[in-house]
Amino acid sequence: MTPERADPAEETEKTTVWVGTSGFSFPDWAGTFYPQDLPKSEWLPYYAGRFSALELNSSYYRIPSAKTMTHLCERTPPGFLFMVKANKKTTHQRADAEVAEEFRACLQPLIEAGRLRGVLAQFPWSFRNTEENRDYLVSIAERTSDVQWFAEFRRRDWIVPLVGNLLRERRIGFVSVDEPQISDMVPPVAKFTVPVAYVRFHGRNAEAWWGRGTDQARDRYDYLYSEEELRLWAGKIERLRGKVKEIFLFFNNCHDGQAAENAVLMRDLLSRLAHMEVR
């Protein structure tokens, strides 16, 4: 999946980078990212006043209604973009066509408003690189072929030329990740298979990653990136310039507003680079 070098003639072309977070409605963001006295009903407009893109993660737990998606559009300014996470029935439970239709229907308001950039399919650790799973990946993208799908894998065995070729042929985007390097997790590489690159930052809390406590999800993503760690990623992002039209960066280390803090820092680092339009 390693992209070739950009053509020298493309070196002056600008690549648009969108920076945001994986979700916005977290109680522990009150007093860290959101003003303590800001009503929860105003959180999304506040977020949209500081970022231009959002990865909607609540759709993983429950497929939202079209009315909910319309409300998201109405509460954000024109030009604000969304990536929507596929429901867990699709990525973790082998959904049928009926679920695909329900999920596709909820996307319609975002599509009509020109605000949807794609759908994120985050597969679990148990999703290995097998022929059966590759076929399933292709099938879910084909069910809603009028939207751009992006696949995120947890296992390193997906990072092979066979998969890269498959994703390109089927026009499925590859999601690069930054996460703890344990148990054959996917390495922190910047790759792409469609004209849009997508990077998710999960933090590097290796000790809590496989935790079994009641706060596992919270603890797993409890991590604050240092400026040096993000500076290394900024270099990787810069090397994608001219190779893709857009790059989406979302921070999923959402504990206590750390995702928002790191997103602001990353945006600042990238804004210093030439030929990079950062939003």
Residue 4, domain member (yes or no): no
Using the predicted structure, report yes or no on whether residue 6 has a pLDDT greater than 70.
no
pLDDT of residue 212: 57
Report the relative pairing of strands 276-278 and 15-21 from DSSP bridges.
parallel
Q: What is the dihedral of CA 180, 93, 166, 170, to 10 degrees?
A: -120
**Spatial distance between the Cα atoms of 73 and 64, rounded to a whole number of angstroms:** 13
At 86-145, the pLDDT tens digits run 999 999 988 777 888 999 999 999 999 999 999 999 999 999 999 999 999 999 999 988
* CA distance readout (Å), 40 to 24, 36, 121: 10, 10, 28
Residue 88, domain member (yes or no): yes
- Token pair for residue 138? 């292709």
Chain-wide mean pLDDT for the chain? 92
Which residues in 22-47 are b (16+ Cβ under 10 Å) and which e?
A: bbbebeebeeebbeeeeeeeebbebb
At 17-56, the pLDDT tens digits run 999 999 999 999 999 999 999 999 999 999 999 999 999 9
- Percent of the chain scoring above 90 in pLDDT: 82
What is the mean pLDDT of the segment spanning 256-266? 97
List the Cα angle 54/178/1 in 5-degree steps: 95
pLDDT of residue 217: 63
- Percent of the chain scoring above 70 in pLDDT: 92
pLDDT of residue 213: 54
For the domain that residue 177 is a member of, what is the CATH number? Answer: 3.20.20.410
Residue 144, domain member (yes or no): yes
Residue ranges making up the domain that contains 147 = 15-278
Using the predicted structure, report yes or no on whether residue 12 has a pLDDT greater than 60.
no
pLDDT of residue 3: 41
Residue 103, domain member (yes or no): yes
By the 8 A CB rule, do 227 and 265 touch?
Answer: yes
**Spatial distance between the Cα atoms of 191 and 174, rounded to a whole number of angstroms:** 7
First to last CA, the chain: 27
Residue 1, domain member (yes or no): no
User: H/E element holding 98?
Assistant: helix 97-112
What is the mean pLDDT of the segment spanning 253-272? 95
By the 8 A CB rule, do 265 and 258 touch?
Answer: no
Task: Specify the residue for token string 């030439």.
Answer: 274
- Token pair for residue 216? 């596992």
- 230 by Cβ neighbours in 10 Å (0-12 / 13-18 / 19+) ranks as buried
The count of structural domains within the chain is 1
Residue 148, domain member (yes or no): yes
Q: Kindly tell me the sign of the dihedral angle through the C-alpha atoms of 104, 167, 87, 201.
A: negative
What is the mean pLDDT of the segment spanning 158-184? 96
DSSP structural state of residue 72: H
pLDDT of residue 145: 87
Using the predicted structure, report yes or no on whether residue 238 has a pLDDT greater than 80.
yes
What is the mean pLDDT of the segment spanning 171-176? 98
* DSSP per-residue letters across 108-174: HHHHHTT-EEEEEEE--TT--S-HHHHHHHHHHHHHTTTS-EEEE-SBGGG-SHHHHHHHHHHT-EE
Using the predicted structure, report yes or no on whether residue 8 has a pLDDT greater than 50.
no
Q: How confident is the model at residue 11 (pLDDT cuts 50, 70, 90)?
A: very low
By the 8 A CB rule, do 108 and 67 touch?
Answer: no
pLDDT of residue 180: 95
Helix (H, G, I), strand (E, B) or coil at 276: strand
State the maximum Cα–Cα separation within the chain, in Å, rounded to a whole number: 53
Residue 227, domain member (yes or no): yes
Q: How confident is the model at residue 219 (pLDDT cuts 50, 70, 90)?
A: confident
Q: How confident is the model at residue 152 (pLDDT cuts 50, 70, 90)?
A: very high
